[in-house]
Amino acid sequence: MTSETTPQSAGWRMKVSAFALAAAIFAVLWFAIAALGTKWGWWPWQVGLGQMTIGTGPMITMIALGLSIIAQIIALIKAPRVRPFIIALLATLISAMALFRLGGFGAQAAALPPIHDIQTDWSDPVRYTEAILSAREAQGDTNPVLDAPTIPEGANARWPGMGGKLVSVAQEEAETKGEEGETVYPPIDPVYFDQAPAEVAALAERIAQNKGWEIVTPLAGQEANDTIQLEATATSGWFEFKDDVAIRIRAVEGATRVDMRSTSRVGLSDIGANSKRVYGFMMELLDRGDGRVED
């Protein structure tokens, strides 16, 4: 005579673990919904980024993490323990990773200056043409484009001492080496070439196109002279934030000098996006055009 052993059921403990896993997945989906809703125009970026991501997102993630830890503890009360514990552990890992990413985002934002306008030479600023300015105005509620912008006084609440400071000074400080020899921003400098402005401009336009930027002021139709300005708009993937780019190429004392500016349309801090864009573009242009940093 044989006897059969009926497997024990984890019962309500499995349900708790499954609920914790669902909460962890929901927390991740919450951030995706916040970004995609902004991208698709369901709500403004202040809601998607400010309220949903920065405001509510951390609370939802911490609740999900707390539920997963409770589920792990409950799963260890009695046998069978393996399945509910593994599910609860998976929920903990998902929630912890989301919370870690949030913490990293917050730390990065706090470490970078609250600016969204970067260029290679504030003493002789690159000025956008009417094509870019009109596009910014049509979007509405965009950051102003100024020759000498300052950081709003309200930034002092999160970035003490930054309110009222010139953006040019904040950028210079971020590019200056600290005591440990590191900089917050990579150096943003003009670059020089021996080729004619038109030749350098053609290369710059190809690089911009390869990066997927929307060319707003193309080379076609511009008169051949010693100063050429190429303009484009770069759009982020998730939230679809738009940053405007202007590349000024001109002849100076037997060489061709390239200056560049990148300005976010919305938001106080760009989390370093514009500095990375300008630096990356200029280094690629310098490398492919066989240029140099100093004339």
At 110, list the tokens. 């706090």
The pLDDT value given to residue 5: 46
- Counting every residue, how long is the chain? 295
What is the share, in percent, of the chain residues with pLDDT greater than 70?
Answer: 94
Contact 118, 171 (CB under 8 A): yes
pLDDT digits 0-9 by tens, 76-113 = 887 767 889 999 999 999 999 999 999 998 888 888 99
Amino acid letter for position 170: A
Pure H helices in the chain? 12-39, 45, 57-75, 82-111, 130-139, 167-175, 197-210, 273-289
Burial label for 193, CB within 10 Å (0-12, 13-18, 19+), is: buried
pLDDT beyond 70 at 1: no
The pLDDT value given to residue 6: 43
Pick the CATH number of 117-148+185-289 from 3.20.19.10, 3.40.50.360, 3.30.530.50, 3.40.640.10: 3.30.530.50
- This prediction's pTM: 0.86
The pLDDT value given to residue 170: 95
